[in-house]
Amino acid sequence: MKKILLAFTLVSAVIFSGCDTLNQVGKEVVKQAGDVLAEPTSAEMTSALKEALQVGTNNAAGFLNKPGGYLNNERFKIPFPPDAIKVATKLRNLGFGNQVDKFIETMNRGAEDAAKEAAPIFVNSIQQMTLTDARNILLGADNSATMYFKGKTSDALYTAFSPKLKTSLDKFEATKYWGQLTSTYNKIPGVKPVETDLVRYATNKALDGLFLKLSEEEKDIRTNLSARVSAQLKKVFGWAEAQKK
């Protein structure tokens, strides 16, 4: 009988101890859920968005800055200027296909080299975001921050990015190849001379690729829990996600 009572006592202790543990775990889960679902302050929203954009721009610029970042990804690759595609076609037909391919490669290499300059420019522009902007963007579409950012800073980015890209294009001799291609083409009897501004074209396409990559990074942070790399991002984007359901 004593053995039975002892066993009963031990089992009871384990059960009640387990209940206490489960209760504690339950309270912790509820607390964490409450922390995530609690509406963040305006300051938290703004800070989280700035953090998200900084993470996104660093990732985007870092990705495109790697060898092949533009060239080996069809989503970002800068193609032969569309308004001068007849140049590429005509020159390929005349046996200058290798030169055309070399130009496309060097143009994309130039964009990859210039991409490293984009992150600090983006970060500087991020600081202009207001509290009202932050809330509207947070509850907006998956790319609303990127679109806001693009609308507010494209001109400034172009002004700052263009000379850097020109330097990179010169460094990788894309400018030289473009000059050779257009010079060869313009000498063909009966054709309309091509006067495409290579730096303008390459800069706009490079920035298009940068914003596209940034939008992918933003969407990832909004929808992928593991991409929310800080407690602040988890709280703010967790709350925003709950508001959309």
Q: What share of the chain has pLDDT > 90, as a percent?
A: 19
pLDDT, mean over the chain: 81
Res 24: pLDDT: 52
Res 12: pLDDT: 45
Res 37: pLDDT: 64
Q: What are 161-213's pLDDT values in tens digits?
A: 798 889 988 888 888 888 888 888 888 888 888 878 889 999 999 999 999 99
DSSP assignments along 160-216, one per residue: HHHHHHHHHHHHTTHHHHHHHHHHHHHTSTTPPPP---HHHHHHHHHHHHHHHHHHH
Q: What are 15-69's pLDDT values in tens digits?
A: 444 445 434 534 443 344 444 467 888 888 889 888 888 888 899 999 999 999 9
Tokens of 59: 């990732």
What is the residue extent of each domain of the chain? 44-243
Residue 73 or residue 154, greater confidence: 73
Res 116: pLDDT: 85
Phi-psi region of 217 (alpha: psi -120 to 50; beta: other; left: phi over 0): alpha
**Spatial contact of 198 and 174, defined as CB atoms under 8 Å apart:** yes
Task: Record the pTM.
Answer: 0.75
Q: Identify the three-state secondary structure at position 157.
A: helix
